Amino acid sequence: MKLKQFILLPTLLFVLFVQTAAPAGAAGELSWYFKKNYEHKQPTLDAAQSFINGYSCYYVDKKHGDDSDDKVIYLTFDAGYENGNIERILDTLREKGVPAAFFVLRHLVEANTDLVKRMVNEGHLVCNHTMSHKNMAAVTDRAAFEKELYGLEALFREKTGFEMQKFYRPPEGRLSEDNLKILEEMGYKTILWSFAYADWDNNAQMSAEIARKKLLDGTHNGEILLLHPTSKTNADILGQLIDDWKEQGYRFGTLDEL
């Protein structure tokens, strides 16, 4: 597999831009990637990824193509812990009247229950990122696989009194066709992404100017944008970004539309 950019983190692994990849069979493991472009076009799937089309698996809203008059962006956040910036992100979303989806882990639900309740109460979707953020494509036992998702559902229900939304984002961006089959039978839609950038390392944050330019340059219709709400840069620039996107004619959709 030839990589243009490979980013390895202590708890996260993202393969963002790949030229070629080994095919993923029924039990094969795939690291999700997208073809980055700065022409404001939806990225296309490589042949190795095409199996996702047979399932409730989304990386972009194809109904809103490049030439659609209805311009929509889906804001999604992978949230594992609070460092003060998730609250700032929520403040901005409330101020701007914009919905988002938060894919949460066990730690956030347990340690910051009030914050998670706030997400629901302010109209955001709270979704499943598993209990422990392990590589789920490597979990071959179905009971163990289900435990990671159903366990988080039960914890979320116990702590908040709400039901978790049936949207799943694979930890580390790793998935397999077997995963997608199980998830479909569990009633889940799998949500990948069509744009992301290096925002997760709090000790190596991009400047606001560079990050904002990257995000605006990569904007496309039907975009499912992955951000990390622990990023100080994201918290700093989100309000201006939302204003920029609105000026460009974009609205902000919810995953229920997919």
Active site residues: 78, 228
Q: Could you tell me how far CA 233 lies from the centroid of its own chain? A: 17
Q: Do residues 4 and 19 make contact, with C-beta atoms less than 8 angstroms apart?
A: yes
Rounded CA separation 170/177 (Å): 12
Helix (H) or strand (E) holding 72: strand 72-79
CA distances for 197 relative to 100, 109, 218, 258, angstroms: 18, 25, 10, 23
Give the pair of three-digit tokens for residue 62: 């194809």
Q: Say if residues 90 and 235 touch (Cβ distance below 8 Å).
A: no
Nearest CA-CA partner of 193 in 147, 159, 228, 233: 228
Gyration radius of the chain's alpha carbons: 17
Looking at the DSSP bridge assignments, the partners of residue 97 are none
Q: Biggest alpha carbon distance in the chain?
A: 48
Residue with tokens 């039901």: 163
Cβ contacts of 47-55, under 8 Å, gap ≥ 24: 47/23, 48/20, 48/21, 48/22, 48/23, 48/24, 49/21, 49/24, 51/24, 51/177, 51/180, 52/175, 52/180, 52/190, 52/192, 54/180, 55/177, 55/180, 55/181, 55/183, 55/184, 55/190
